[in-house]
Structure 1
Amino acid sequence: MRFVVCGEALIDLMPQEVLSPEESLWVARSGGGPLNSAVALAKLGCDTHFLGRLSTDAFGRQLSAHLASAGAQLDLAVTTDDPTTMAVVSLDDEGKATYAFHFEGTTNFNWRPEEFPTLAGDDWLHLGSIGTIIEPGFRHVRDFVNQTEATVSFDLNVRPSTLPDRAEYFARISDLMAAVGRNGGIAKASDEDIAWLVDDDSDPLAYAGTWAEEFGLSLFIVTLGPDGVAAVKPDGRVVRVPGRRVEVVDTVGAGDTFMAGFLSAYAEDPSDVEGALARGAAAAAIVCTRQGAKPPTAAEVDALLAS
């Protein structure tokens, strides 16, 4: 199975230390949900190819090196002189991350139709996050997904600050879910993603089931923070796996790493949804014990699952 991961690669600026009222130290970490998933899939031993737009600037070279060092292939990546997208990260007292994006005119949103490859029916295309819903790239990504023969998974990974209009955000997400469901693909969101999209904090699994049926998805996965994860099938059946108790350093990359762990197992055996969810949850638990998005190896996930 060849995994092709499509979407943004960006720089997360993370606070380290305030030196004075005039000066502070920050670390520039390689990030972006799809980049994190590509790195995680590669570290889990999967044949992984990153389909994103990478700048020739210093940050772009850092992102390319990060992907390559994890074992992700760059043969499908697009090289551009556009400046690299940046996100300023804030962490609350529990290590939960929020993001302020600087993206106008940058790498991840200037897709052109000719930059997308033709994928085969036995490829797996994974995509998501802001690189799929921000114009001018949104319509080209949507058209690419509508035309591909590959199996598709879509991580909604909602970032309200990038498109505050809830109705417009949901409309674009819906277009993408319809494209993903064309071949019976999979969607994933957090409970917080769903609550924001529908402006309702009631049971997110009810919405997941409705969308799975409406858009023809084979599964809609909902991550539930410390309460674990559930997958809802279009007939309403729910498969649930509990969360793992770990000492959280921060949650950066947790959802992206979950999806990599899940896909690495699900692609091998689609009949074992529970096992794939458990593998994803274990991978996400490990990354939460580390500062920044530092996904585990397959051996590390195996060890946690065996413990």
Structure 2
Amino acid sequence: MIIVAGEALVDLVPAPSSADGQLADLQPRLGGGPYNVAVAAGRLGAPVGFLSRVSTDLFGDALVDRLRMSTVDVGLVQRGPEPTTLAVVGLDDDGSARYSFYVAGTADRLVADPGPLPAEVAAVSFGTLSLVLEPGASVYERMLRRESDRGTLTVLDPNVRVGLIPDPVAYRARFAAWLPHVGLLKLSLDDARWLAELPEDAPEDAVRAVLLDWLAAGPAAVVLTRGGAGLLALTSAGALVEAPPVPVSVVDTIGAGDTVQGALLAWLHSQDALSRSAVAGLDEEQWRAALGFAGAAAALTCSRAGAEPPYLAELAASRPV
């Protein structure tokens, strides 16, 4: 079984702008990086559970109901009276998303440590706000180290939200300290540049050099999302595998990277490869298949509004035989 640990929240997404130029209405969409990962993995056929603290408000009820409808186990979901985190989303002309967060006193940052996870848990995924906002961040960091020490495959997507990081130097140091405990690292090109303190327009070759340094610190593989340039994987065995982008008419990019993470987890499960040694042993052909599966799933998410990862049947129907 796979466990995805982290926040669940509500994105307030702008409706299409009115013809007279007035501000668009904001429409609620259920989301949050780890939440989207769990939904994507569940819809793509993986046995997955979600671990978080979710509000007992109406938004929280809707979040839990959607997990169940996406075949995600909610046995490790904690409930509390605190409000649901809100994220106000702005869309650029190319559909890429910008976020403003309302996080004071919200439920997801007050998660309690569940202790060691059940023996049947083969992989745990972490990331996004849950590794920034205290006191929950320390709980998830403790879980990351503990599960790594127990031999569980740990998967990390930092999914950096710069506006919520008060001390970038300290956060980068924490990220470096996580790497020896991470089996699979997935991140975006923008995140990699920020974490490595590279310029926003730093060439990809410079980023790849940093990824090699991070690989040497612990992960068996690093997967890099590059927007319209597709996906790339670097492995501790020295392989470099690229997957071209899947052509798509982009509505927005909300949840695209999360879908990649969930799809990678689902693909690894389908190949009985949910262990650090199995990830390290994947050959280039297998990585091309994994990246192709994840890229196709993310493209479908980009083709519709909000974070709506595809179901396995939808993905199968969209891919050439």
| TM-score, normalised with respect to structure 1 | 0.92
1:196 paired residue number: 194
CA shift in 2, pair 1:121/1:207, >3 Å: farther
Whole-Å Cα distance in 1 between the matches of residues 98 and 236 of structure 2?
32
- Match of residue 111 from structure 2: 111
Match of 1:220 in 2: 222
Matched residue SS, 1:158: coil
Aligned partner of 2:276 in structure 1 is: none
Instruction: For residue 174 of structure 1, report the CA deviation from its aligned partner.
Output: 2.1
TM-score of the two chains, using structure 2 as the length reference: 0.88
Which residue in 2 is equivalent to 1:254?
Answer: 256
Task: Provide the C-alpha distance between the structure 1 equivalents of 2:257 and 2:26, rounded to a whole number of angstroms.
Answer: 23
Shift of residue 76, structure 1, vs aligned partner: 0.8
Structure 1, residues 114-156: CA drift from partner, whole Å, max 9, x if none? x345232652111111112222222221111111232111111
Q: Map Cα deviations across residues 36-70 of structure 1 (whole Å, 9 max, x no partner).
A: 11111111111111111111011111111111111
Q: For residues 226 and 22 of structure 2, what CA distance do their matches in structure 1 show? A: 40
1:305 counterpart letter in structure 2:
R
Output the amino acid matched with 1:206: A
2:169 maps to: 167
Aligned pair count reads: 300
1:78-93 superposed matches below 5 A: 78-93=78-93
Partner of 1:305: 319
The code of the aligned residue for 2:70 comes to A
Mapping of residues 1-307 of structure 1, within 5 Å: 2-16=1-15, 25-113=25-113, 115-120=114-119, 122-148=121-147, 149=150, 150-180=152-182, 185-200=183-198, 201-203=202-204, 204-214=207-217, 216-269=218-271, 270=273, 271=282, 272-306=286-320
Paired residue secondary structure (2:50): strand
Contact 1:142 1:179 in 2 (8 A): no
Query: Quick one: which amino acid aligns to residue 81 of structure 1?
Result: P
> Relative contact order (C-alpha < 8 Å, sep 6+): which is higher?
2
Q: Secondary structure at the match of 2:241?
A: strand
Relative to structure 2, which stretch is displaced further, 199-208 or 251-260? 199-208
Identity of aligned residues (%): 34
- Distance, in Å, in 2 between the alignment partners of 1:172 and 1:116 is 22
* 4+ runs deviating over 6 angstroms: 18-23
Would the alpha carbon gap of residues 202 and 120 (structure 1) be closer, same or farther in structure 2, given more than 3 Å must change?
farther
Deviation at 1:198, TM superposition (A): 1.9
Q: Whole-Å Cα distance in 2 between the matches of residues 99 and 188 of structure 1?
A: 20
Residue identity matched to 1:106: T
Tell me, in whole angstroms, the C-alpha distance in 1 between the residues paired with 2:49 and 2:164. Answer: 26
Note if contact 2:3-2:125 (Cα within 8 Å) is conserved in structure 1.
Answer: yes
Letter in 2 for 1:202: P
Query: Whole-Å Cα distance in 1 between the matches of residues 46 and 195 of structure 2?
Result: 32
Asked if the contact 1:46/1:264 (under 8 Å) is kept, the reply is yes
Q: Which amino acid aligns with 2:203?
A: S
Query: What per-residue deviation string (whole Å, max 9, x for no partner) do you get for residues 220-279 of structure 1?
Result: 111111111111112442111111111111000000111111221123334222211110
Q: Indicate the SS of the match to 2:270.
A: coil
Kept in 1: contact 2:251–2:302 (CA 8 A)? yes
Distance 1:116 1:245 in 2: 43
Structure 2 unpaired stretches of 5+ = 274-281
Query: Contact 1:213–1:235 at 8 Å: present in 2 too?
Result: no
- Structure 1, unmatched stretches of 5+, are none
Change (3 A) 1:49 1:17: same
Counterpart CA distance in 2 for 1:129 and 1:161 is 12
Pairwise CA RMSD = 2.0
